[in-house]
């Protein structure tokens, strides 16, 4: 039988961003930390790190935040930056404020540039982050692009050729799938993550991307009912769909 790890309550809550050890002790003295219906007074008490803690423990009357290993899917609006330090609106502004202080911290799984919207994952699971972004796994990323000029008809073949070289680079891109939706709209699926890759691909064929929206990672799609700026926690099955072909 696998031994379940234990942790001190104040250490757990501190790692989830609820405050310093002293602040957590104050919360406990106010009887605002409750486990299995009983207020916790001794925050040095060790408890098993079981997944059901989020159902058994409340802090300030609300369920405990997700334990480490969390994966968030965010519908990123345009104008937000995938950074913790830049000035201007940040994707972290769309999450609960204390999540900025989680340890390990939540990091974007790949970045969307400031004006690109759509599906963005954030996680504190470094191994999962590496697995999704590693070229070895070739996770497909699907974007919907609105273009400044009508497509000329050769773009599908050019992008699928595996011979397109972006400006300033020497190595050709991997083959990509382009699905034309209208004269000025297209859906593009790529398996790489080079700097501003989609925008630069269309620039290479004489066009300009006016709006860009990421719809999917692998078979994980952005739900139609997840509005801009909204987020959800992913299940194990949803995480696995990222790697489905």
Answer positive or negative: Cα dihedral of 108, 109, 113, 119.
negative
Q: Which residue has the higher pLDDT, 34 or 5?
A: 34
Burial class (CB in 10 A: 0-12, 13-18, 19+), 202: buried
Instruction: Note whether 72 and 33 are within 8 A (CB).
Output: no
Q: What percent of the chain has pLDDT over 90?
A: 93
Neighbours of 69 (CB within 10 A): 11
- Looking at domain 71-134+220-241, does it have CATH number 3.30.1540.10? no
What is the pLDDT at residue 44?
A: 96
Burial class (CB in 10 A: 0-12, 13-18, 19+), 244: exposed
Whether 113 sits among the annotated catalytic residues: the reply is yes
Q: Which two tokens stand for residue 184?
A: 């000025």
Domain map (residue ranges) of the chain: 6-63, 71-134+220-241, 140-217
Cis upstream peptide for 104 (omega within 30°): yes
Instruction: Note whether 182 and 206 are within 8 A (CB).
Output: no
Q: Which two tokens stand for residue 201?
A: 């691909």
Per the residue annotation, which of 42, 86, 93, 113 is the catalytic one?
113
CATH topology of domain 6-63: 3.10.290
- Judged against a pLDDT cut of 80, whether residue 46 lies above it is answered with yes
What is the pLDDT at residue 1?
A: 59
What is the pLDDT at residue 111?
A: 87
Instruction: Give me the architecture of the 140-217 domain, per CATH.
Output: 2-Layer Sandwich (3.30)
- Contacts of residue 1, defined as CB under 8 A and 6 or more positions apart, other chains included, come to none
**Same fold: 6-63 with 71-134+220-241:** no
What is the average per-residue pLDDT within 216-226? 96
């Amino acid at each position: 039988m696998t031994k379940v790890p234990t942790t001190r309550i104040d250490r757990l809550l501190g790692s989830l961003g609820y405050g310093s050890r002293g602040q957590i002790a104050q919360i406990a003295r106010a009887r605002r930390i409750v486990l299995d219906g009983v207020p916790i007074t001794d925050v040095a008490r060790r408890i098993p790190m079981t997944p059901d803690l989020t159902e058994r423990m409340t802090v300030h009357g609300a369920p405990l935040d997700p334990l480490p290993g969390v994966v968030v899917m965010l519908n990123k609006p345009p104008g937000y930056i995938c950074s913790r330090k830049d000035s201007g609106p940040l994707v972290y502004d769309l999450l609960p404020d204390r999540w900025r202080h989680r340890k390990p911290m939540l990091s974007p799984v790949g970045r969307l540039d400031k004006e690109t919207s759509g599906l963005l994952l954030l996680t504190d699971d470094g191994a999962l982050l590496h697995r999704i972004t590693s070229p070895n796994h070739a996770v497909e990323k699907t974007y919907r692009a609105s273009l400044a000029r009508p497509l000329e008809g050769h773009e599908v073949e050019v992008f699928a050729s595996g011979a397109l070289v972006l400006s300033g680079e020497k190595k050709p891109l991997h083959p990509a799938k382009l699905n034309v939706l209208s004269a000025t709209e297209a859906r593009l699926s790529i398996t790489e993550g080079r700097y501003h890759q989609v925008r630069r691909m269309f620039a290479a064929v004489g066009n300009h991307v006016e709006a860009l929206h990421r719809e999917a990672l692998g078979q994980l799609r952005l739900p139609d009912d997840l509005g801009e700026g909204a987020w959800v926690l992913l299940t194990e099955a949803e995480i696995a769909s990222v790697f489905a072909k």
